[in-house]
Chain A
């Protein structure tokens, strides 16, 4: 089991958002989490990534058998956890290429590998950039500087493709995307699917799941997973909304 989340309770600013969440993700699996606004989806994503504002008051998260909560955010990333942000921040003055090289080398160093060769690195990232339909010029610009929402999301998936994580959490990657951008992003994700890589897609709408077919779909409401199923569950939610599922869980 790659990820084992057991009875997770998370509070932010004193308010409990996640109230006993259980989730197991095996290697190579794609899981989708859907749910109404305020259900705790982003909280879950940020908690997995290690954001300091989110306080785990109970429960555990194990990553490849190790205690993930015991690791700082940067340690988790070097160990193979990746978060694609819902609202990626702009960082003028830190170029995309500089960030990626530093990140890639940090990962390698943690794994006991040598730093990547400069020429090979450029070839590698250029290839990934063109896959994500990003103009090569952006590489020397500041991270997300001057990017539209769609470009920022493509940049997130581009970074994921470069860093090759073991476990990628995509926080509402599809929100704000038009159909063309969505297809590019979905293609980028699909290209990264492998037996060694797992995904947690946090999504509000079902649309992304047409292109990135999940193995499992979970409904998160009021800080808990109230229903799990396969990809047909997503279609059911799209048609009927969350009411039925919520009623069934409370009833």
Chain B
């Protein structure tokens, strides 16, 4: 056990002392329990299978220290807000809810604020959420988020409700050497629908630890898009958990296009018949950046379907890691699952580690997986050149073409546009 981690106990105590207002006992208990878990288990090492290609030692060294820092005032106009028409806009800066910058009137069921505030207004929902997480989340980052997170969004959608406006949750970090924990809790009632866009940006060396949990009840439809375009010195670790009940649908897109080191882990459980999950993921990295995206899909009931399409574009000396795991329980007959991973390497120094995994215990299923890695097609490049397109534009066209199916699937056009722009910012290394 390192001194590093035991200091966390003092850090939490200090933070608590600085807080004003009533503390909720059961919330503190949950935080303490999480803290103990971290201290007992420590950070993951590359000797663990799930962390084999992503070395978090530097992150592990910085995290406990940075938790001691507090946010500094942020000047206006620094955020990288995307202009979304008609959205319900929630703004978090350095892990704290910013009420002034957010939409004025929030509909019933949408809560944003400090964890204490949410514990006071929606205790049952928050408690149930914490309990559910307890059962599934063994990541130390989830534990850190629980122990040190200060704010959250809680969205409760009533049965049959269709939320027309997209929910835009904007996270921005601007204070150097600060760690921000973000939390999103979504409970979709029967046959309800919502579209959520979670956006992460920063202009400083920060740590973002993001957590999202979605309960999709019978017949509901969730559209979730996450766009991460953090600062080149930032660390970003995100975990999402989705549970789908009977006939529920989740359409997810995760785009990781920033940060020095980023790891996104999406866990989907198709708990009841008729559930369907369609997950797209895009990894973009240049320079010496490291980006990992993991998806775990658990088919736990018969007649469930999933499709996962993950693509990466890597250049310079970037490192990409993709792990896609499909687990089909023995009772999940008639499961149909399809996992594809395609990787585009734009330089000889870029590298991708890709591992599709299928663990199938039922015998009447259709499961397919494939992974390909390649470079820009020379013939296509030359063809474009002979039409008068300059080399840089020709490369951009082909990179955009490579990701076009995934970008086209992004529900919010403005987000698709921003993603398209990020694609063209990938640098090429002349070989």
Binding site for B on A (CB under 8 A): 49-52, 72-74, 76-78, 82-83, 85, 88-89, 91-94, 98-100, 102-103, 106-107, 110, 142-143, 159, 163
Contact = CB atoms under 8 A, between A and B. Distances in A.
Contact of B386 (A73, A92, A107, A110): A73
Given A76-B386, A102-B393, 15 more contacts: A49-B386, A50-B385, A74-B385, A74-B389, A77-B386, A77-B387, A89-B377, A92-B401, A93-B401, A93-B404, A93-B405, A98-B397, A99-B389, A102-B397, A163-B388
Contact of A91 (B380, B386, B388, B390): B380
Contacts of B388: 74, 77-78, 103, 106-107, 110, 163
B158 to A, nearest CB: 40
Contact of B384 (A52, A83, A92, A99): A99
Nearest to A89: B379
B383 interface: yes
Contacts of B404: 93
Interface in B383-427: 383-391, 393-394, 397-398, 400-402, 404-405
B26 interface: no
Nearest to A99: B387
A104 to B, nearest CB: 8
A102 B402 CA distance: 18
Nearest to B377: A89
Contacts of A88: 383
B405 A106 contact: no
B90 to A, nearest CB: 34
10 A-B pairs with the lowest CB-CB distances in the bound complex, closest first: A93-B401, A77-B388, A103-B387, A73-B385, A93-B404, A106-B388, A74-B385, A78-B388, A89-B379, A94-B401
20 contacts: A50-B386, A52-B382, A74-B386, A74-B391, A77-B388, A78-B388, A82-B386, A88-B383, A89-B377, A89-B380, A91-B384, A91-B401, A93-B398, A93-B400, A94-B397, A94-B398, A102-B387, A106-B393, A143-B383, A163-B387
Contacts of B398: 91, 93-94
Q: What band does the interface of chain B fall in when counting residues whose beta carbon is under 8 Å from A? A: 20 to 34
Nearest to A49: B386
Nearest to A165: B388
A16 to B, nearest CB: 22
Contacts of A52: 382
B395 to A, nearest CB: 12
B389 A103 contact: yes
Contacts of B394: 74
A159 B405 CA distance: 25
Contacts of A51: 382
B385 A72 contact: yes
B401 A73 contact: no
Contacts of B389: 74, 99, 102-103, 106
A91 B383 contact: yes
Interface string B15-45: 0000000000000000000000000000000
Nearest to A51: B382
B377 A142 contact: no
Nearest to A110: B388
A190 to B, nearest CB: 22
A89 B397 contact: no
A109 B388 CA distance: 11
A94 B403 CA distance: 11
Contacts of B377: 89, 91
Contacts of A91: 377, 380, 383-384, 398, 401
Contacts of A89: 377, 379-380, 383
